[in-house]
Amino acid sequence: QVQLQESGPGLVKPSETLSLTCTVSGFSISSGYYWGWIRQPPGKGLDWIGSIYHSGSTYYNPSLKSRVTISVDTSKNQFSLKLNSVTAADTAVYYCARDLQQYDYWGQGTLVTVSS
C-alpha cells in the first residue's frame, strides 16, 4: 500500500522560506511517476502547486513558479517543497500526492501557518 507523509515546520515567519518533505512508503519513487504538491487555504478550495518526476524534471503552477522549488531524493524515497518569500496568503494545509495525471494517493496533509 502506497503511503505518503508530509513533515516540516507548522509555523513560518513572513518573508521566510516554507520547507516541507514528503516521505513515500510502499512504493519506490525511482520506479517512476510524478509526485506532486497541492495546498488548501483554510475554508477554501484546492490549489495545484507543482510536480516532479523521479529524474528531477519539474513543472510548476505559473502563479507560484517564481517562488517554488520542488526536489527529489530517491535515496531517501522523499521529495520536497520550498516556497520562498511567504506571506499570510500562503497559510494552508499542504498535501503531497502521487501524480498520474490524477492524484491517486495523498498524504494526510500538514497545516502551515505564516505569522510573525
Partner 1 sequence: QSALTQPPSASGSPGQSVTISCTGTSSDVGGYDYVSWYQQHPGKAPKLMIFEVSKRPSGVPDRFSGSKSGNTASLAVSGLQAEDEADYYCSSYAGSNNWVFGGGTKLTVL
* 27 touching partner 1, by CB under 8 A: no
Contact flag: residue 107 with partner 1 (CB under 8 A): yes
Q: Is residue 47 part of the contact set for partner 1 (CB under 8 A)?
A: yes
Q: Based on CB atoms, which residue is closest to partner 1, 27 or 59? A: 59
**Range 20-52 burial, b when 16+ CB lie within 10 A, else e:** bbbbbeebebeeebbbbbbbeeeeeeeebbbbb
Instruction: CB nearer to partner 1: give 62 or 75.
Output: 62
Binds partner 1 (CB under 8 A): choice among 59, 64, 77, 84: 59
CB count in 10 Å sphere of residue 56: 11
The contact mask relative to partner 1 for 78-97 (x = CB under 8 A, - = no) is -----------------x--
Distance CA 92, CA 9 (A): 12
Q: How far is the CB of 14 from partner 1 (least distance, A)?
A: 25
Query: CA 29 to CA 93: how far, in whole Å?
Result: 23
